[in-house]
């Protein structure tokens, strides 16, 4: 069983799901366009040994706050952890959430380790946008996901049915259980009066996806050298970084307490290979601090 709540943190109110369990705290951070529902299969395994919690990032799901700059969404990790009373959690981030946990750890944020799930930054500061998961033309995002769509409840349910029906022809959702697709798709609509808003909006993506190159913490490959906690790198064979496996492997041997794992699936690893994610969390949690 789990419990849902809206938590007041120092940076705003966040929709949180406590999946239960006892042991070390684990905080699960989803990627762009997703929400806390995607972590259900992973959390079901984690709560046998850990205390698993997930939240909807700002601009996503049922969290009411939106981004005003490009750093808020990853800095929220500290605010949410503090509001929940989590102590040195293991942070697990998928896709853009992978960068979020990376940036938080690199900034000196309090955590016991990070697990990055097919969410890497592999280029230097001169070409970071080319490797950023959000650097996709807005028209393409609309065609693929209808981000920012305002509609009524009946249309929401029709859209959920259509997404589930098309899953086996969709390179992202292929192989994901239809009931799980329905859950995270439905949760991506936020009620605003009589309308439902598909989140994130284009404005959210625009704001969060354009960091300041003058900042110390920036989505470029040099960020990994700033991290001083154990790290797990989960590389999806058919994911967003297909063809760049060697670069990820290099990162996994450039520091103490780093582990590389390749999984034979597409980008949506938490829903396709939850056992691999839970297993990596166990390994990272078992490593000593340094």
Q: Where are the domains of the chain?
A: 3-134+207-286
pLDDT at residue 128 is higher than 80: no
The 3-class secondary structure across the chain, one letter per residue, is CCEEEEEEECCEEEEEEEEECCCCEEEEECCCCCCHHHHHHHHHHHCCCCEEEEECCCCCCCCCCCCCCCCHHHHHHHHHHHHHCCCCCEEEEECHHHHHHHHHHHCCCCCCEEEEECCCCCCCCCCHHHHCCCCCCHHHHHHHHCCCCEECHHHHHHHHHHHHHCHHHCCCCCCCCHHHHHHHHHHCEEEECCEEEECCCHHHHHHHCCCCCCCCCCCCHHHHHHCCCCEEEEEEEECCCCCCHHHHHHHHCCCCCEEEEEEEEECCHHHHCHHHHHHHHHHHHHCCCC
pLDDT at residue 131 is higher than 70: no
pLDDT (tens digit, 9 = 90+) per residue, 180-203?
A: 999 999 999 999 889 999 999 999
CATH code for the structural domain at 3-134+207-286: 3.40.50.1820
pLDDT attached to residue 136: 73
Among the ranges given (37-41, 71-75, 132-136, 280-284), the one the predictor scored with the smallest mean pLDDT = 132-136
Q: What is the pTM of this model?
A: 0.96
């Amino acid at each position: 069983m789990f419990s849902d709540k809206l938590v007041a943190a120092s940076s705003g109110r966040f929709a949180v799901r406590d999946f239960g369990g006892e042991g070390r705290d684990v905080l699960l951070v989803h990627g762009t366009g997703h929400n806390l529902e995607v972590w259900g299969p992973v959390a079901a395994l984690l709560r046998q040994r850990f205390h698993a919690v997930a939240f909807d990032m700002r601009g996503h799901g049922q969290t009411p706050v939106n981004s005003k700059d490009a750093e808020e969404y990853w800095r929220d990790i500290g605010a949410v952890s503090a509001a929940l009373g989590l102590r040195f959690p293991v942070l697990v981030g998928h896709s853009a959430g992978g960068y979020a946990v990376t940036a938080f750890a690199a900034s000196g944020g309090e955590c016991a380790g990070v697990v990055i799930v097919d969410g890497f930054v592999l280029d230097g500061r001169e070409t970071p946008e080319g490797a950023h998961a959000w650097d996709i033309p807005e028209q393409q995002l609309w065609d693929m996901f209808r981000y920012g769509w305002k509609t009524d409840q009946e249309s929401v349910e029709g859209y959920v049915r259509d997404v589930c029906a098309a899953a086996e022809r969709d390179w992202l959702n292929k192989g994901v259980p239809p009931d799980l697709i329905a859950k995270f798709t439905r949760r991506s609509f936020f009620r605003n009066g009589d309308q439902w808003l598909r989140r994130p909006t284009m404005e959210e993506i625009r704001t969060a996806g354009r960091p300041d190159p003058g900042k110390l913490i920036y989505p470029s490959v040099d960020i990994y050298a700033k991290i001083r906690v154990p790290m797990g790198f989960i590389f999806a064979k058919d994911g967003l970084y297909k063809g760049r496996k060697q670069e990820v492997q290099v990162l996994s041997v450039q520091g103490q307490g780093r582990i590389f794992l390749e999984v034979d699936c597409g980008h949506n690893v938490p829903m396709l290979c939850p056992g691999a994610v839970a297993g990596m969390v166990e390994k990272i949690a078992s490593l000593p601090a340094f």
